[in-house]
């Protein structure tokens, strides 16, 4: 129960709400417990003794207590729901914050579907449970103990019936706890599966359609869906099986009370009202137990969710936290010192092997190499998306691991290989890294990225809201917006990872030219490119092969000294891909 207990600690923040709910519930329970006694009084003292005045007076009291009970219950519900939703909001906030703190390493290992379930269904389960507990945790035991006590007081001669009935009910309650908990755990796991299928399907919907995989995807979803329904039914069935037992116990109890009470009434030593009141208390007690069994089901479900949430909250980011060295200014000198890197934790196949090079402030360093050589992996070490397994990367002589993460990333403009856009205006998408960037800078960046043209042609220009993941733009347009984001003039370091793969050669050349325009502020650039045309003007070209730096030099020296480079060069000349080189 420790996971549940720990999360319930959140309630400390709303203790007033959490306290108010059960307090008001006390009113309702007290009033409920009074009712059977009042009925007894009407029957035995009023009707039996022909005292209609007492019947009327007691009737008024009954209505008053009912109103009070309703008011108490209503107020309790109000506070319980408020506390529940506040609790849920705080919990979701914490889950989201934790997910945000995850490194790429963490995220590589976690399924998106599982994260979504944690944030939605699991958090909802906890929230519902809190609401229910705040309403039921006082009502249930008080009603149970209260009704049994009142029944004993009202009719000691029938009271012993409880001694028989309660143990039967207790056994069935214990049984239910053991049955439901593991089943609800499975339900939540299956929900992960469903969310993963769904998320993958939506993210890859174009590919699914292109390869006519709809049928396959439908089957995959149907399987996960059916399995979820199956598990849900099994869990609910386990939870519901106590209901008939309770109803049966109740019926047997009522019949027994009527039978025994009937004899007493016939013998004249018990009032009819006493029997009726007893039966009412019996019903209240069984109702309380039914509530308890529902609560148990809900708690065991929430318990499964709580464990999952706590496991997520306790997942530590897979590398040391942000460094502490503040870095207000940055010259942009980047040095790789014998850097090796592997994606697998604790070793595994190295993706980069002992890479060393220097990018001086203001220099342009180009990375060239076959696909899978390790270029993207290399550049991602600079803004610390991952940490090297050996060696170090420094910025202005400071290990990037020691630099405060916010400062580090504020100095680096990066366009990833895959353009990621958000459902927001184009302007906001460009100014993402620097929300304080003036409009002039945004337009300037868009112009250089050759995006200004298509943006201003849109009716709402820079205020055009793009779809989810930029879905309303073409591949090349998306890419240009992503480049513009990196081209804001404030970044002393610029990283372009194969950023022009989706634009035509002419546009690529125009972007090149804009980058090298004399009015551009001096910055260090690391550029990954497929086409020689994009690297020809670089101060330094690094040729990467299979995770190794096999050669470095300028275009001219490499052409003479390096066979791989020459091969790439010649293959591209044949394609005419160089026709715009150097423009
Ligand atoms: N790799 C992983 N996990 C990842 C990304 C890549 O194991 O999350 C592997 C695949 C490949 C190697 O690392 O064997 C290098 O990948 P990288 O993406 O760095 O290669 P690239 O040079 O950028 O290739 P491309 O030109 O296709 O972008
Ligand atoms: Mg790459």
- Return the number of other C-beta atoms located less than 10 Å from residue 410's C-beta: 17
DSSP-derived 3-state class of residue 342 = coil
> Nearest-CA neighbor of 415 among 473, 330, 500, 474?
500
Residue nearest to atom 19 of ligand 1 (CA): 374
Q: What is the pLDDT of residue 507?
A: 83
Nearest-angstrom CA–CA distance, 568 and 559? 10
Between the CA of 176 and the centroid of ligand 2 the distance, in Å, is 54
Tokens matching residue 226: 């059916």
Average pLDDT by stretches of 10, the chain with 583 residues: 82 88 92 92 90 93 94 94 94 92 79 84 91 88 90 88 83 80 85 82 75 83 92 87 81 91 90 90 87 82 85 79 83 94 80 94 91 92 90 94 88 86 87 84 91 91 84 86 86 88 81 81 88 85 92 91 86 62 40
Nearest-angstrom CA–CA distance, 252 and 241? 18
Nearest-angstrom CA–CA distance, 481 and 450? 9
Q: How far is CA 330 from CA 67, 403, 515, in A?
A: 71, 11, 20
Q: Which residues line ligand 1 (CB under 6 A)?
A: 108, 343, 351, 369, 371-377, 417, 498
Ligand 1 atom with the smallest distance to the CA of 367 is 22
Nearest-angstrom CA–CA distance, 289 and 286? 5
How many residues in the chain? 583
Residue nearest to atom 6 of ligand 1 (CA): 377
Q: How far is CA 444 from CA 150, 425, 436, 487, in A?
A: 81, 17, 15, 9
For residue 47, give the DSSP letter.
Answer: I
Between the CA of 546 and the centroid of ligand 2 the distance, in Å, is 12
Substitution candidate for ligand 1 out of 110, 355, 375 with most atoms within 8 A of CB: 375
- Return the number of other C-beta atoms located less than 10 Å from residue 288's C-beta: 23
Q: What is the pLDDT of residue 341?
A: 93
Residue nearest to atom 3 of ligand 1 (CA): 343
Q: Which residues contact 494 (CB under 8 A, 6 or more apart)?
A: 412, 413, 414, 486, 487, 523, 524, 525, 526
Between the CA of 283 and the centroid of ligand 2 the distance, in Å, is 70
Ligand 1 atom with the smallest distance to the CA of 108 is 8
Residue nearest to atom 14 of ligand 1 (CA): 372
Nearest-angstrom CA–CA distance, 549 and 355? 6
Q: How far is CA 241 from CA 144, 247, 294, in A?
A: 21, 11, 11
Q: Which residues contact 159 (CB under 8 A, 6 or more apart)?
A: 151, 152
Substitution candidate for ligand 1 out of 347, 377, 495 with most atoms within 8 A of CB: 377
Ligand 1 atom with the smallest distance to the CA of 380 is 19
Q: What is the pLDDT of residue 500?
A: 78
Helices (H) and strands (E) in the chain, counts: 21, 10
Q: What is the pLDDT of residue 576?
A: 54
């Amino acid at each position: 129960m420790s996971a549940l207990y720990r999360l319930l600690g959140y309630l400390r923040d709303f203790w007033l709400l959490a306290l108010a709910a059960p307090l008001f519930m006390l009113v309702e329970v007290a009033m409920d417990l009074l009712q059977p006694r009042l009925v007894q009084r009407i029957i035995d003292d009023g009707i039996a003794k022909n005292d209609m005045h007492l019947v009327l007076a007691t009737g008024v009291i009954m209505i008053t207590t009912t109103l009070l009970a309703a008011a108490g219950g209503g107020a309790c519900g109000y506070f319980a729901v408020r506390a529940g939703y506040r609790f849920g909001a705080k919990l979701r906030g914490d889950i989201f914050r934790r997910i945000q703190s995850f490194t790429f390493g963490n995220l590589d290992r976690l399924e998106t579907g599982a994260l979504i379930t944690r944030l939605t269904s699991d958090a909802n389960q906890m929230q519902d449970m809190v609401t229910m507990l705040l309403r039921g945790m006082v009502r249930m035991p008080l009603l149970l103990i209260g009704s049994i006590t009142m029944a004993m007081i009202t009719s000691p001669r029938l009271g012993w019936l409880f001694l028989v009935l309660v143990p039967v009910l207790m056994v069935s309650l214990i049984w239910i706890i053991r049955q439901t908990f593991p089943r609800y755990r499975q339900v939540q796991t299956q929900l992960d599966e469903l969310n993963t299928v769904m998320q993958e399907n939506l993210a890859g919907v174009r590919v699914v359609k292109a390869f006519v995989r709809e049928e396959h995807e439908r089957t995959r979803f149907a399987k996960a869906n059916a399995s979820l329904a199956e598990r849900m039914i099994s869990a609910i069935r386990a939870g519901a099986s106590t209901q008939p037992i309770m109803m049966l116990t109740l019926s047997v109890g009522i019949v027994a009370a009527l039978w025994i009470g009937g004899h007493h009434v016939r013998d004249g030593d018990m009032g009819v009202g006493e029997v009726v009141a007893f039966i009412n208390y019996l019903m209240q007690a069984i109702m309380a137990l039914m509530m308890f069994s529902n609560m148990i089901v809900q708690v065991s479900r929430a318990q499964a969710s709580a464990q999952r949430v706590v496991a997520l909250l306790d997942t530590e980011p897979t590398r040391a936290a942000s460094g502490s060295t503040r870095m207000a200014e940055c010259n942009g000198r980047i040095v790789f010192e014998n850097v090796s890197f592997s994606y697998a934790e604790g070793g595994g196949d190295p993706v980069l092997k002992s890479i060393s090079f220097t990018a001086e402030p203001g220099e342009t360093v180009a990375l060239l190499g076959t696909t899978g050589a390790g270029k993207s992996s290399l550049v991602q070490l600079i803004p610390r998306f991952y940490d090297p397994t050996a060696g170090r990367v420094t910025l202005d002589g400071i290990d990037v691991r020691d630099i405060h993460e916010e400062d580090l990333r504020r100095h680096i403009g990066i366009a990833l290989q895959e353009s990621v856009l958000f459902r927001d205006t184009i302007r906001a998408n460009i100014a993402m890294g620097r929300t304080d960037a003036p409009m002039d800078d945004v337009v300037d960046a868009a112009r250089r990225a050759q995006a200004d043209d298509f943006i201003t042609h849109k009716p709402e220009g820079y205020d055009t809201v793009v779809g989810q993941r930029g879905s309303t733009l073409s591949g090349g347009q998306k890419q240009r917006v992503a480049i513009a984001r990196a081209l804001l003039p404030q970044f002393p370091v610029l990283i372009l990872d194969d950023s022009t793969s989706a634009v035509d050669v002419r546009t690529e050349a125009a972007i090149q030219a804009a980058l090298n325009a004399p009015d551009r502020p001096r910055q260090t650039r690391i550029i990954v490119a497929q086409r020689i045309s994009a690297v020809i003007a670089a101060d330094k070209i690094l040729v990467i092969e299979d995770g190794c730096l096999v050669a470095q030099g300028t275009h001219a020296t490499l052409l003479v000294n390096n066979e791989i480079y020459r091969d790439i060069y010649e293959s591209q000349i044949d394609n005419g891909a160089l026709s715009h080189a150097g423009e």
